[in-house]
Amino acid sequence: GGGRLVVAEPLPAGTDALAVIAPEAVSVHRERPTGSPRNVWPGTVREITSAGSRLRLLITSAEAPDLVAEITPGAAAELGIADGSTVWTSVKATEATVVPL
């Protein structure tokens, strides 16, 4: 998809790889977050589905691959999240895994 991903255990440069990020590791913000996450991208909520007691958000971005985030309905209401909302996502480097292809 594009963009840059910082991981705690990188592969050698030039290695084709698949990045794996669990939906619960993706934090969703209304404004650009600060702090320790090394991976921060803007995005747009394209789909919201219910997954038991959680909501799954499909977030697309021109600067990063599509991401799936899981949040509670309470967090979605507090943040004012709806389909088409502009958001920021963050993922700590320790939460991203790369697997060589």
Domains with residue ranges and CATH for the chain: 22-100 (2.40.50.100)
Q: Which two tokens stand for residue 49?
A: 């589905």
What pTM value is reported for the model?
A: 0.90
Given this model, what pLDDT does residue 64 score?
A: 85
Mean pLDDT, rounded, for 1-28: 90
What pLDDT, in 10s, does the model give residues 20-74?
999 999 999 999 999 999 999 999 999 999 988 999 999 999 888 899 999 999 9
Q: For residue 63, what pLDDT is reported?
A: 85
pLDDT at 2: 60
- In this predicted structure, what is the pLDDT of residue 32? 96
